[in-house]
Amino acid sequence: MTAVDVAAAEAAVAETAGRLADDLPFEERYQVARQHEANLMALANARQAAGAATYADRRRIETDRLRFAAEVCGDFGIEAYSLASLPQQHRGGAR
């Protein structure tokens, strides 16, 4: 991976973070949050592959990922470590 790959991953994270700031219906917010979670992990992997990741970078990105999962899952009082662990019956409905 190169600096171009890292820049592309950073752009993807910024795009999904911007969409999460919008007032979206729950199902769409869930899908954007899942994509954001994947983008954060792709960014961490791109930085590591490019030799630009430090332990602090990985921890910050993992903290961001967990924060988004907790925010979405917390709407239902569900503790989750990943949006993928959110049970199907809780993915739809009002926020």
Domain boundaries, the chain: 3-90
- On the question of pLDDT at 91 being above 80, the answer is no
Segment 44-58 shows an average pLDDT of 80
Q: Please give the backbone phi and psi of residue 50, each rounded to the nearest 5 degrees, phi first.
A: -85, 0
CA-based nearest residue to 68, from 28, 38, 43: 38
Residue 21 per-residue DSSP state: T
pLDDT single digits (tens) 12-35: 999 998 898 788 887 788 788 888
Of residues 39 and 84, the one with the higher pLDDT is 39
CA end-to-end distance (rounded Å), the chain: 39
CA-based nearest residue to 16, from 44, 41, 35: 35
CA-based nearest residue to 40, from 70, 79, 69: 69
Cα(34)–Cα(42) distance, integer angstroms: 12
pTM, two decimal places = 0.66
Of residues 91 and 64, the one with the higher pLDDT is 64
